[in-house]
Amino acid sequence: MTTTDAVSRAKALFKSKFGADAEVGGAAPGRVNLIGEHTDYCDGFVFPLALQFSTVVLGRKNPAHADTVVVCSEAQNQETAEFAISDGMKAGEPAWTNYVRGMVSIYRENGFDVPGFDAVVCTDVPIGGGVSSSAALEMSTGIFIEELCKKTVEKETRALWGQKCEHTFVGLMCGIMDQMISSKATLGHALLIDCRSLECEEVPLTDPGVSVVVCNSNVKHTLTGSEYPDRVRQCKAVASAIGVKALRDATMDSLNSVKDKLSDVEYRRGRHVITEDNRVLECKDALISKDYPNAGALMTASHASLRDDYEVSIPEIDFLVELANSFPGVFGSRITGGGFGGCTVTLVKTENANALMEKMSQDYYAKYAVNVSSFITTPGSGAHPVDIS
By annotation, the residues acting in catalysis are 178
Report whether pLDDT(220) > 90.
Answer: no
More confident residue, 224 or 75: 75
CA distance 14 to 28: 18
CB-based contact 136:29 (threshold 8 Å): yes
Report whether pLDDT(297) > 60.
Answer: yes
Q: Which of 62-71, 276-285, 296-305 has the lowest mean pLDDT?
A: 62-71
Helical H segments across the chain, by residue range: 3-18, 98-109, 133-149, 155-165, 177-184, 227-242, 252-257, 264-288, 292-308, 315-325, 350-368
* 120 confidence band (pLDDT: 50, 70, 90): very high
pLDDT tens per residue, range 148-180: 999 999 999 999 999 999 999 998 888 899 999
Report whether pLDDT(1) > 60.
Answer: no
Report whether pLDDT(261) > 90.
Answer: yes
User: Positive or negative, the Cα torsion across 93, 98, 102, 108?
Assistant: negative
User: Positive or negative, the Cα torsion across 224, 259, 338, 92?
Assistant: positive
Query: What is residue 223's predicted lDDT score, i.e. its pLDDT?
Result: 58
CA distance 175 to 193: 11
User: Span 288-304, mean pLDDT?
Assistant: 98
Strand partners, 45: 194
Three-state DSSP class for 135? helix
Query: What is residue 222's predicted lDDT score, i.e. its pLDDT?
Result: 59
- In terms of pTM, does the model score above 0.85? yes
User: Span 173-192, mean pLDDT?
Assistant: 94
Residue 185's φ and ψ, nearest 5 degrees, are: -55, 145
pLDDT tens per residue, range 17-76: 999 999 999 999 999 999 999 999 999 999 999 999 999 999 999 988 889 999 999 999
User: Span 342-354, mean pLDDT?
Assistant: 97
Query: What is residue 112's predicted lDDT score, i.e. its pLDDT?
Result: 97
DSSP assignment of 62-109 equals -GGGTTEEEEEEGGGTTEEEEEE--TT----SSGGGHHHHHHHHHHHH
Query: What is residue 333's predicted lDDT score, i.e. its pLDDT?
Result: 98
